[in-house]
Chains A and B, each alone.
Chain A
Amino acid sequence: MVNSTKHAVLIFVVLLGFLTNLASAQELTERIQDEIDEWLTVGEYFQMVNEDGEVLMESGRVLVEGDEYLTSSNQLYRVVRVDSERNIAHAELVDTIELKVTPLSELMQAAGLTLAGSVDSEPRGLIGVYHTHNAESYVPTDGTDSIYGQGGIHKVGDAFAETLRGRGIEVEHSDNLHLPHDRGAYRRSRETALELLSQNPDAIFDIHRDAAPRDAYALQLEDEWVTSVQFVVGRQNQNLGVNREFAQSMKALADQVYPGLVKGIFFGRGNYNQDLSPLTMLVEAGAHTNSREAAEKGISLFAEVVDLYFYGTAEARGTEEGTKAGTEQGSRAATRSVTGLLVFVLAGAGIFYVINAGGLGAAIDRIKNLFRIKQR
């Protein structure tokens, strides 16, 4: 014990020395991150290409095998091979999906929630908005891709919130900072997401911007240039089934109202705090190469789609006109979610039982004894 304590003290002194010199530590970590980060250096992009070499999407995010992407034309691709030297991810077509707007009531049912109150009498609810990566900014208008503090993304969030408020929706737009911009940002923003969820919102949106070439997000609607938006769904979360349905429904509705506004849905690793609630969404509003004004216009159009989905048409609200396909999709998602939750509960109960029994052996003995008694 004495030796281990000595070693621990030595390690601690070395670490303390490292920590006290934050400036050089920051410099060192930035250098190391450049080497291993899954975001490329500004100006470099990863391309996802299909079997014919057509570019499906471009992003500053390093793509890995297993990542999936639903294109604007609803073709679902999965990355099968990655050429790290050339930053190219080769993807194969998995399926062409006929997207349906799963009515909100079906989605609620899938998530184990119900809508209380009638459609007509229900006042418009609360939407939560926050930004995990506060520093994200837009080069053409903000002058830089990152502002250490409230970056341009906060103004894009303001535009989203204002459009919703203008349509009579209550919005809680959190300006909580989750800096520094490191791996702990999602851990810190988890607190913000939980704060927002405690106010019982209908949905919460974590708004980001991508790192991609300008053309990847530029969209001309009539005579106006805006940026499109992209959804990101984390595959490592127990709400994946409902999250996926939610994202696909929003895209389906957006496709009807503003074709092309939702450029695609990226299914990546991680959970992006989407494990906290089934109706959470990560939205990429343009890229750092687009102007902030274009991103503000794009996200405002998306806000109209959010309004329509949650409080708008009868179809989206899930009255008697709710589609059969939507119901079936909702049921499948519900089965997946409830099964996942059941497995989690059973695993928890099992661990608790083993600890309570005083060990694995004792737990097995207890179960054996139980059967012996029954046999007698």
Chain B
Amino acid sequence: MITPSVSILILALVTAVVALGFAERVLERMRLSSTAAIIVLLAMAAAHFLPDIEFQGLTINLGALVLLGIVIYLIVTTTAQEALRAVIVGLITGAVIWLTDKLLPVDPSSAWFSLDPLFVGGIASGLIAYVLGRSRRSAFCGAILGTILVDLANMMELMQAGIPQSIHVGAGGLLASVAISPLIAVAIAEGIGEIRERLHRGSAVPSGGEDGE
């Protein structure tokens, strides 16, 4: 049996704490309280070890369902305009992932575009959400919705072709693309906002989205 050494365990623990701290911070920006954010993260971690739900060729990890629940909560509890924007970001993000999957080289090690497909959703959602109104909330929701929509589009494509393939959503828990993408998206929306704010500091107050960034 292979077991991790103590030093690597400590290092992994520190990494996990930093990553969870970052994730908690992101969820706080979604106007969740600190306690709620920690509960969500613990629920995601715990759900990863629970059996997946299988439905009509779709296998959903409960951790992914937790994320989907947050998206629905965020969309329902915001203004109609912000909700529409989040959905639009999700749809465009889904389209961007789908198109890059289809149009770019099959192997991620392409000579002219070597961005790992794992990060496309997060980056696209962060940029689109920023362009459409500098909204972290839209970035967060868009990344999750976009990633899941692409899985659904793939499922439809395979159903059309008569291929009995079960689509897995969020099977990797906190390492799955559906969990990584929203963190990247918020970091990008936040990062661009921060840079732009510094460039324009003192000259004008940037127009922000509904979530006030």
Contact = CB atoms under 8 A, between A and B. Distances in A.
A268 B109 contact: yes
Interface string A106-124: 0011011111110000100
Contacts of B8: 111-113, 338
Contacts of A344: 15
Q: How large is the interface on B (under 10, 10 to 19, 20 to 34, 35 or more residues)?
A: 35 or more
A270 B109 contact: yes
A33 interface: yes
A292 to B, nearest CB: 21
B171 to A, nearest CB: 4
Contacts, number: 207
A125 B1 contact: yes
A271 B108 contact: yes
Contact of B194 (A8, A349, A359): A359
Interface in A169-208: 176-177, 179-188, 190-192, 194-195, 200, 202
Nearest to B8: A112
A116 B5 CA distance: 10
A234 B198 CA distance: 38
A348 B22 contact: yes
Nearest to B119: A187
A342 B175 contact: no
Interface string B118-135: 100000000000011100
B20 to A, nearest CB: 10
B79 to A, nearest CB: 11
Interface in B67-109: 81, 84-85, 88-89, 91-92, 95, 97-109
B11 interface: yes
A12 B97 CA distance: 14
Nearest to A346: B18
A114 B5 contact: yes
A220 to B, nearest CB: 30
A36 interface: yes
Nearest to B117: A187
Contact of B85 (A5, A32, A360): A5
Contact of A194 (B22, B153, B166, B171): B171
Given A180-B154, A348-B15, A191 B168 contact: yes
Interface string A263-279: 00000111110001000
Contacts of B158: 177, 179-180
B156 A22 contact: yes
Interface string B168-198: 1001110111000000000100100010001
Interface in A3-54: 4-5, 8-9, 11-12, 15-16, 18-19, 22, 25-26, 29, 32-33, 36-39
26 contacts: A4-B133, A5-B85, A5-B132, A8-B92, A11-B92, A15-B92, A16-B95, A19-B95, A29-B102, A32-B103, A33-B105, A38-B105, A62-B111, A112-B11, A113-B3, A113-B5, A177-B163, A185-B106, A190-B177, A194-B173, A202-B2, A270-B108, A270-B114, A276-B175, A342-B11, A355-B22
Interface of A: 1, 4-5, 8-9, 11-12, 15-16, 18-19, 22, 25-26, 29, 32-33, 36-39, 61-62, 64, 108-109, 111-117, 122, 125, 148-149, 176-177, 179-188, 190-192, 194-195, 200, 202, 234, 236, 268-272, 276, 338, 341-342, 344-345, 348-349, 351-352, 355-356, 359-361
